[in-house]
Amino acid sequence: MRRTLALAAAVSALAVAPALAAPKDEVARIIGSAAFKTAVATLDKDYDRTVADLITLTEIPAPPFKEAERGKAYKAMLEAHSLTEVEVDPEGNVMGLRKGTKGGPVVVVSAHLDTVFPEGTDVKVRREGTRLHAPGVADDTHNLAVLLAWIRALDAAKIRTRSDILFVGTVGEEGAGDLRGVRYFFGKGKYKDRTRAFFSVDGLDPGGITHIGVGSKRYRVTFSGPGGHSYGAFGIVNPMAAMAKATADLYAIQPPTHPKVTYSASVTGGGTSVNAIPSKVFTEYDMRSADAAELAKLDARFKEIMTEAVAHENAARSTRVGAVKVEIEPIGARPAGQTPKDAPIVAYTAAAIQALGYVPTYEASSTDANAPMAAGVPAITIGGGGKGGRAHSLDEWVDMEKAGGVKGMSVGLAAILAVAGVD
Maximum C-alpha span of the chain:
85
- Domain assignment present for residue 15? The answer is no
At residue 121, the pLDDT reads 98
Q: Which residues contact 392 (CB under 8 A, 6 or more apart)?
A: 116, 139
- Cα torsion 199, 205, 211, 216 to 10°: value is -100
- Domain assignment present for residue 12? The answer is no
- Cα torsion 78, 45, 112, 380 to 10°: value is 110
CATH number at residue 319: 3.30.70.360
- Domain assignment present for residue 5? The answer is no
Domain end marker among 283, 318, 334: 334
Separation of first and last alpha carbons in the chain: 34
At residue 178, the pLDDT reads 95
At residue 413, the pLDDT reads 98
Q: Which residues pair with 85 in a beta bridge?
A: none
Domain that holds residue 94: 20-213+336-420
At residue 11, the pLDDT reads 34
Q: Which helix (H) or strand (E) holds 380?
A: strand 379-382
Domain shared by 103 and 240, yes or no:
no
Domain end marker among 300, 334, 368: 334
Q: Which residues pair with 264 in a beta bridge?
A: 286
Number of domains in the chain: 2
What distance in Å separates the CA atoms of residue 59 and residue 32, rounded to the nearest whole number?
38
The pTM score is 0.90
- Domain assignment present for residue 29? The answer is yes
Domain shared by 221 and 206, yes or no:
no
- Domain assignment present for residue 354? The answer is yes
- Domain assignment present for residue 13? The answer is no
What distance in Å separates the CA atoms of residue 302 and residue 80, rounded to the nearest whole number?
50
Angle (CA) 131-138-289 rounded to 5° is 145
What distance in Å separates the CA atoms of residue 237 and residue 229, rounded to the nearest whole number?
12
What distance in Å separates the CA atoms of residue 330 and residue 217, rounded to the nearest whole number?
8
Domain shared by 275 and 360, yes or no:
no
Domain shared by 37 and 141, yes or no:
yes
At residue 190, the pLDDT reads 96
What distance in Å separates the CA atoms of residue 163 and residue 417, rounded to the nearest whole number?
9
Domain shared by 315 and 402, yes or no:
no
**16-19: Cβ within 8 A, 24+ apart:** 16/100, 16/102, 16/103, 16/104, 16/105, 16/162, 16/163, 16/421, 17/162, 17/163, 17/196, 17/344, 17/421, 18/162, 18/344, 18/348, 18/418, 18/419, 18/420, 18/421, 18/422
CB atoms within 10 A of CB 83: 18
Domain shared by 107 and 26, yes or no:
yes
Exposure string over 167-197, b if 16+ CB within 10 A, otherwise e: bbbbbbbbeebbbbbbbbbbeebebeebbbb
Domain shared by 106 and 188, yes or no:
yes
The three-state secondary structure class of 211 is strand
What distance in Å separates the CA atoms of residue 345 and residue 348, rounded to the nearest whole number?
5
- Domain assignment present for residue 375? The answer is yes
Domain shared by 219 and 286, yes or no:
yes
CATH number at residue 171: 3.40.630.10
The sign of the torsion formed by the CA atoms of 176, 179, 180, 181 equals positive
Taking alpha carbons only, the member of 123, 148, 150 closest to residue 137 is 123
Domain shared by 296 and 168, yes or no:
no
CA distances from 197 to 200, 208, 325, 378, 381 (A): 10, 17, 46, 5, 11
Instruction: Kindly report the backbone phi and psi dihedral angles of residue 85, in degrees, each rounded to the nearest multiple of 5, phi listed first.
Output: 50, 40
What distance in Å separates the CA atoms of residue 206 and residue 226, rounded to the nearest whole number?
56
CB atoms within 10 A of CB 267: 12
Domain end marker among 268, 303, 334: 334
Which portions of the chain are predicted below pLDDT 70?
Answer: 1-21
Domain shared by 229 and 370, yes or no:
no
Domain shared by 116 and 186, yes or no:
yes
Domain shared by 315 and 352, yes or no:
no
- Domain assignment present for residue 2? The answer is no
